[in-house]
Amino acid sequence: MPLLVILVCLSLATLAAPVAVGRFGARAFLGLAVVPAAALVWVVSVWPVSGEPARTETLRWVPSLNMDVDLRLTPLGAVMSVLVLGIGAVILVYCAGYFTGVTNTRKLPTFAAELVAFMAVMFGLVVSDNMLAMYVFWELTSVLSFLLVGYYAERATSRRAATQALLVTTLGGLAMLVGIVELGEHYGSYLFSEVIARAVADPSTISIGVEVGVVLILVGAISKSAIVPFHFWLPGAMAAPTPVSGYLHAAAMVKAGVFLVALLAPAFAQLTSWRVIVLGLGILTMILAGWRALREFDLKLILAFGTVSQLGMLMVLVGTGERNVALAGMTMLTAHALFKATLFMVVGIIDHATGTRDIRRLARLGDRQKVLAVIAALAAASMAGIPPLYGFVGKEAALETMLHASLPSPIPVVLLVGMCVGSALTVAYSIRFLWGAFGRKGQASPTRAVENMHAISPLFLAGPALLAALSLIDGVFSPWIDHVLAEYPDRSFPPAQDPYHLALWHGFTLPLLLTALIIAAGVVVAQPHSPFARLRRRNSVLLGNADRLYDATLRGADVLSLRMTQSTQRGSLPLTQGTILLTLVLLPMLVLVLGTRADPELQLQSSPLFLAVSVLMCAAALTSVLLRNRLATVLVVGVTGYGTGVIFAIYGAPDLALTQFLVETLTLVVFVLVLRKLPAEAPITGSRPSRVARALLGVAVAVMVVVVAVAARARAWPRPSRTGCRTRPTSSDTATTP
């Protein structure tokens, strides 16, 4: 069970990380990098190929709750695994240089454990076939990102950024959980492979409830991938150490939402709601975030808004639902991981060596650090789509395939125009990044920060140099990569009439002309004295108010909770209890009324002992209402508890009966000890209407309990109409699942 072995090995590395880093310092990151690197070698060695079924593994956990650990290495999961493990290993090597010489190493062992743990849960996420198990990994990424982003907990900005990321992604995850339950209940299975195969085989099964479930899952996906209107948490997360930004926010965590959209696209991309959310919000995000990147002076923020922009483009490509466009999406997915992780690591080196990321305090750095400048130039050129870099191959594939996409008119035209505008902005902020970090800026001598920078070790440069070289190599050898990346779209979507293949040169085509126009427009927009420069210096209404809206939402929630507390928590015990019980009555009954109807089969119990105990319990309950003596009331109420234990024993549950007897006895003893300090009889309080209201509320609670119990019994699993089979997909089904 190699997939499970990888998860176990990464978990063991998590446990060993604090000890190793505490003993050997930053050098221990080199040893930790061996674990994901070895796992990467195994994934590459068993790469899914055409004609072979996907590798599957199952660890039985809680079958009755559909909570087995079902793992499945699909072509899509394999691509994501390479990013998670490969970029993760490079980041760990980078950490060895980043944290060398750091004086405050108290938090470093914990940081190492959290980073390796994130690799483990991210790998579990991309290979999980069980939707509920995937959701567990999904939420673990939110928790671990909260810890990693909040590394500098003594800083208010870090605490705010960590909390913001946790709230946004967790709330999106909760919405996604509801959607997962809806899909699992409708299709009778919680396996992605089965749900997708059945939806593809019979689109008529996609009901309104399924579409609502898909929309809720998309809410979780776009919140994790920082798509408008949830984009604002990602730039704030740049308060984290640079290795966190280079991994979580360039190659791993933010790609989880893109991965989920790519996974579900073969089954649900034709839905109107899907196209509005994935395509509409994706292209809007690409343009708005690209424009915002031109207004920043912090190198990490330039890259952060650039990441948001490119995530929007990735959403559009993987969510279109066509074979050729999906291939372009896979190409851009891998290209983005390479160049963006490189650029984040370059920023970390600059910050580490000069003590600043502000482009206004950097000048002539390229003269001092030519190797670093070349690495950054290669990565930035790939980001801008300049040949012969890998980013150019992906960008040209995106333009070509979108140009011939068979979507309802005028969607392809709108998306193509939006991608051209967004790509021109990408070229502009790529130029701004290089100029801001390494440009001379008309100064005769370096700035003080550059003048006083310390030397950069070769180990520090190794990671970004490797990824930058891969951006160049992958661009030149893109036809070989085509065979690898095409496995996912070929298995997931209907065959294209004219299959697109990756290549560095396709001749003089319209996409090549568009690329030239995009580069020219980006150069014009990047000019510091152009009309665009004056326009971008103005306040951004669309993106600038996102943080304010977030703060206003939190303040509104605080005010609302305060008002509700003031109205319900007035120091009156009857009022507090009445509020709780009224909520207990209204909420379940409302859900039952609005939900699906049950068809209960009620049977009267004929056991004489059961009937006798039931009559005794009812008599005790009624008597407790009429008694005024506190001790007598407690004793009579105890009869109902002991009666419940007897019923458990009658129906063959001695363990429950014993537990009930023990709890009831302990409760009775506690009540008796307390009642020794109170008057013997309880006074009659409240007016007659209030006593009547209390009686009615008590009856309502009793009725609610009975109704919910009957409805739960009628809806008990398994149901005749839905068998909830746990069989694996057939070979024909496998061909339609990514």
pLDDT tens for residues 619-652? 988 888 888 888 888 888 899 999 999 988 888 8
336-345, 512-521, 667-676: range with lowest mean pLDDT: 667-676
pTM tops 0.85, yes or no: no
Q: By C-alpha distance, which of 175, 170, 311 is closest to 235? A: 311
How far apart (Å, rounded) are the C-alpha atoms in residues 263 and 737?
8
How far apart (Å, rounded) are the C-alpha atoms in residues 489 and 478?
16
Top pLDDT among 596 and 258 is at: 258
In this structure, what token pair is assigned to residue 303? 């890259």
* φ/ψ bin of 369: left (φ > 0), alpha (ψ from -120 to 50), beta (otherwise): beta
> 328: which residues sit within 8 A by CB, 6+ positions away?
317, 394, 397, 398, 400, 401, 402, 500
Q: Is residue 520's pLDDT more than 90?
A: yes
Residue 376: band (very low, low, confident or very high) from pLDDT cuts 50, 70, 90:
very high
Q: Annotate 250-278 with DSSP letters as a single string.
A: TTSTTHHHHHHHHHHHHHHTT-HHHIIII
Q: Is residue 539's pLDDT more than 70?
A: no
SS3 content of the chain, % helix, strand, coil (to 5): 75, 5, 25
Q: What is the mean pLDDT of residues 365-384?
A: 95
How far apart (Å, rounded) are the C-alpha atoms in residues 123 and 119?
6
Q: Among residues of the chain, what percentage have pLDDT more than 90? A: 62
Q: Among residues of the chain, what percentage have pLDDT more than 70? A: 93
pLDDT value for 682? 75
Q: By C-alpha distance, which of 416, 412, 413, 384 is closest to 399? A: 416
Phi/psi at 653 (5° precision) = -125, 70
Residue 548: band (very low, low, confident or very high) from pLDDT cuts 50, 70, 90:
confident
How far apart (Å, rounded) are the C-alpha atoms in residues 665 and 673?
12
Q: What is the mean pLDDT of residues 7-11?
A: 95
33-37, 54-58, 487-491: range with lowest mean pLDDT: 54-58
Residue 468 burial (10 A CB sphere; 0-12, 13-18, 19+): buried
* Segment holding 56, helix H or strand E: strand 55-62
Instruction: Evaluate whether 127 touches 4 at the Cβ level (below 8 Å).
Output: no
Q: Is residue 731's pLDDT more than 70?
A: no
> 389: which residues sit within 8 A by CB, 6+ positions away?
339, 378, 381, 382, 471, 472, 475
Residue 544: band (very low, low, confident or very high) from pLDDT cuts 50, 70, 90:
low
Q: What is the pLDDT of residues 31-54, one digit of tens each?
A: 999 999 999 999 999 998 877 888
Residue 599: band (very low, low, confident or very high) from pLDDT cuts 50, 70, 90:
low
- For helices 323-354 and 370-384, the axis angle rounded to 10 degrees is 150
Cα–Cα distances in angstroms (integers) from residue 272 to residues 211, 280, 413, 617, in the given order: 9, 11, 17, 56
Q: Is residue 736's pLDDT more than 50?
A: no
Q: Annotate 139-171 with DSSP letters as a single string.
A: HHHHHHHHHHHTSSTTSHHHHHHHHHHHHHHHH
How far apart (Å, rounded) are the C-alpha atoms in residues 175 and 215?
9
119-123, 276-280, 555-559, 691-695: range with lowest mean pLDDT: 691-695
237-246 b/e with 16+ CB inside 10 Å = b?
bbbbbbbbbb
Residue 726: band (very low, low, confident or very high) from pLDDT cuts 50, 70, 90:
very low
Q: Considering the chain, what is the average pLDDT of its residues?
A: 88
Q: Is residue 601's pLDDT more than 70?
A: no
